[in-house]
């Protein structure tokens, strides 16, 4: 049985259309899923939508819709964006689906029976935009506005059911002590650790005044707090209650989230799992936030980057590439048209696209359109081969830490090296010579170009699947799906004699803004 790999994204609120932040996490999860599929693992990739709660109810009311009508509409925007972005999720969960609702009720009943839930009273502040209870201190600090969105906090005075979060504080701390990789990057781990050390307070996990949600099984006059509802998708999506087939994917290998929802995923979620006696995920990775032209994106400024324009113009791959190349995963970054176009032209159109077209073109012209048999190597080939041979290891260790940016850097280094190799070996000059030594040298050089292009295609496939399959069409190499990465990611795999076929440029250069 192959080793499993389970990756999740947050499930997204359906109060509004998807934007770059949603695309970012989902593309990153997709790249992981595709990479580990290539590596031969039994992958499960789950994404979905978070459809209950006050925020959705209010958004629906503003549009004179029932919440489910709004959800049914917006969920299609998410699905179609994922399709356009070439996202290969294995499942898509909506919290309004019966499979989720039934299992969530069972989960809550279990917590109630265990005595981990009790009835209490909450009086304080609530942020509807973040669906979060806010402490008095934090409310005062932010002038009674939500720290994230700036919208006014709501005063809440209600009877709630509480989850005994505080009971799990010591267990969570002990767990964190032993599992430093549970939260990544390390700076986020430290943040979580010190906040847990400060103390955990029990968490209100039901809302008595809210219609739009799943009912508490012990008291149908309450709906389950939307964050508890949402977090459980990661296990209800695997049929937690029957623990058959899909349950083999648990524990998740990586749960990708944005830094703003770290507390829920690195504190509340593990404590819920501990209460349920379920193993914790191996890693919660919090990525940073994008700004747009140096400005924070917000609804009021109306400056969210909408992926559609880029997808219309460039297709999915350039956008996918840019998101993971521009900023180390985990750090904040800025999106601008200029930086997008700069990377597109210099790295995709020039370094990569030109390398492919030069290579295919020269093999067509000088070697009858077939990858030649290489002769003996020189120091020039040795240094190119060294870069090629090191690639598999470098990319693999980058993936273990979600260092997409480092992986891409190593991959692009091979393209740079191959371009330099062409410049220094001058195959176009060799082709003018007719002596046997020059002919053999030409064959060696063009084989090395072809093999570099193939290897680039292999490791770029998770990032840019569509373009790389077009690259393989030009190279007439169709073994990717048939070989494990441990084989396809090695040097000297391209068989001599393989035909090549020039195609349209992978990434046409663009000067237009």
Q: Applying CB under 6 A, which residues contact ligand ME8?
A: 10-13, 21-22, 24-25, 50, 230-231, 257-258, 260-261, 289-290, 297
Residue closer to ligand ME8 by CB (options 310, 507) is: 310
Residue closer to ligand ME8 by CB (options 203, 453) is: 203
Residue closer to ligand ME8 by CB (options 94, 470) is: 94
Residue 221's SS3 state is strand
∠266-269-272 over CA atoms, to 5°? Answer: 140
Distance in Å, CB of 154 to ligand ME8, minimum:
18
Determine contact, residues 444/381, Cβ cutoff 8 Å. yes
Residue closer to ligand ME8 by CB (options 25, 160) is: 25
Written in H, E and C, the secondary structure of 95-154 is: CCCHHHHHHHHHHHHHHHHHCCEEEEEEEEEEECCCCEEECHHHHHHCCCECCCCCCECE
Which among 419, 388, 393 has a CA at the least distance from the CA of 494? 388
Residue 180's SS3 state is coil
Per DSSP, the chain holds a count of helices (H) and strands (E) of: 21, 16
Distance in Å, CB of 447 to ligand ME8, minimum:
43
Q: How far apart are CA 247 and CA 357, in angstroms?
A: 46
Distance in Å, CB of 324 to ligand ME8, minimum:
13
Q: How many CA atoms lie within 13 A of 313 on its CB side?
A: 15
Distance in Å, CB of 353 to ligand ME8, minimum:
28
Distance in Å, CB of 111 to ligand ME8, minimum:
17
Sign of CA pseudo-dihedral 211, 214, 219, 220: positive
Q: Which residues pair with 156 in a beta bridge?
A: 124
Strand-pair category, 290-292 with 295-296: antiparallel
Q: How far apart are CA 161 and CA 206, in angstroms?
A: 5
Residue closer to ligand ME8 by CB (options 333, 503) is: 333
> What tokens appear for 386 in the block?
């060294």
* Exposure string for 271-296, b = 16+ CB within 10 A, e = fewer: bbbbbbebebbebbbbbbbbbbeeee
Distance in Å, CB of 91 to ligand ME8, minimum:
15
Residue closer to ligand ME8 by CB (options 297, 363) is: 297
Residue closer to ligand ME8 by CB (options 10, 388) is: 10
Residue closer to ligand ME8 by CB (options 280, 384) is: 280
Polymer length of the chain:
513
Distance in Å, CB of 10 to ligand ME8, minimum:
4
Distance in Å, CB of 245 to ligand ME8, minimum:
23
Distance in Å, CB of 95 to ligand ME8, minimum:
9
Written in H, E and C, the secondary structure of 420-455 is: HHHHHHCHHHHCCCCCHHHHHHHHHHHHHHHHHHHH
Distance in Å, CB of 444 to ligand ME8, minimum:
47
Q: Is the peptide bond before 251 cis (omega within 30 degrees of 0)?
A: yes
Residue closer to ligand ME8 by CB (options 226, 455) is: 226
Residue closer to ligand ME8 by CB (options 152, 333) is: 333
The residue of the chain with the least Cβ separation from ligand ME8 equals 258
């Amino acid at each position: 049985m192959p080793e499993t790999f389970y990756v999740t994204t947050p499930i997204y609120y359906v109060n509004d259309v998807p934007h770059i932040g949603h695309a970012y996490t989902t593309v990153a999860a997709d790249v992981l899923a595709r990479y580990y599929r290539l590596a031969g693992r039994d992958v499960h990739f789950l994404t979905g939508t978070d459809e209950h709660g006050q925020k959705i109810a209010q958004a629906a009311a503003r549009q004179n819709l029932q919440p489910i009508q709004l959800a049914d509409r917006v969920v299609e925007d998410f699905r179609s964006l994922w399709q356009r972005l070439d996202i290969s999720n294995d499942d898509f969960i909506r919290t309004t689906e019966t499979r989720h609702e039934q299992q969530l009720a069972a989960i809550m009943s279990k917590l109630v029976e265990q005595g981990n839930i009790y009835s209490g009273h909450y009086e304080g502040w609530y942020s509807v935009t973040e669906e979060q209870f806010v402490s008095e201190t934090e409310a005062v600090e932010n002038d009674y506005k939500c720290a994230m969105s700036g919208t006014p906090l709501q005063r809440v005075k209600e009877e709630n059911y509480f989850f005994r979060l505080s009971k799990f504080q010591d267990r969570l701390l002990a767990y964190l002590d032993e599992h430093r990789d549970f939260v990544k990057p390390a700076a986020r781990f430290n943040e979580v650790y010190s906040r847990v050390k400060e103390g955990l307070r029990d968490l209100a996990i039901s809302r008595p005044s809210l219609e739009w949600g799943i009912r508490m099984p012990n008291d149908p006059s309450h709906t389950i707090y939307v964050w508890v509802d949402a977090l459980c998708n990661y296990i209800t999506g695997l049929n937690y209650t029957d623990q058959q087939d899909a349950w083999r994917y648990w524990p998740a290998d990586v749960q990708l989230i944005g830094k703003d929802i770290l507390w829920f995923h690195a504190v509340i979620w593990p404590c819920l799992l501990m209460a349920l006696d379920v193993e914790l995920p191996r890693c919660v990775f919090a990525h940073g936030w994008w700004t747009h032209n140096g400005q924070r994106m917000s609804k009021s400024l109306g400056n969210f980057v909408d992926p559609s324009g880029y997808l219309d113009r460039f297709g999915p791959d350039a956008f996918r590439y840019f998101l993971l190349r521009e900023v180390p995963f985990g750090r904040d970054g800025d999106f601008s048209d200029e930086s997008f176009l700069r990377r597109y032209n210099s790295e995709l159109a020039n370094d990569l696209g030109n390398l492919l077209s030069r290579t295919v073109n020269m093999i067509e012209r000088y070697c009858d359109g077939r990858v030649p048999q290489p002769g003996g190597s020189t120091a020039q080939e040795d240094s190119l081969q060294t870069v090629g041979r090191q690639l598999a290891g470098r990319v693999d260790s980058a993936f273990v830490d979600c260092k997409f940016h480092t992986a891409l850097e190593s991959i692009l280094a091979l393209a740079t090296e191959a371009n330099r190799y062409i410049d220094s070996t001058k195959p176009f000059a060799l082709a003018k010579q007719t002596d046997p030594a020059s002919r053999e040298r030409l064959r060696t050089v063009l084989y090395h170009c072809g093999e570099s292009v193939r290897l680039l295609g292999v490791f770029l496939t998770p990032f840019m699947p569509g373009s790389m399959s077009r690259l393989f069409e030009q190279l007439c190499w169709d073994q990717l799906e048939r070989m494990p990465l441990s084989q396809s990611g090695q040097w000297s795999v391209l068989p001599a004699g393989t035909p090549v076929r020039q195609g349209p440029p992978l990434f046409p250069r663009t000067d237009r803004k």
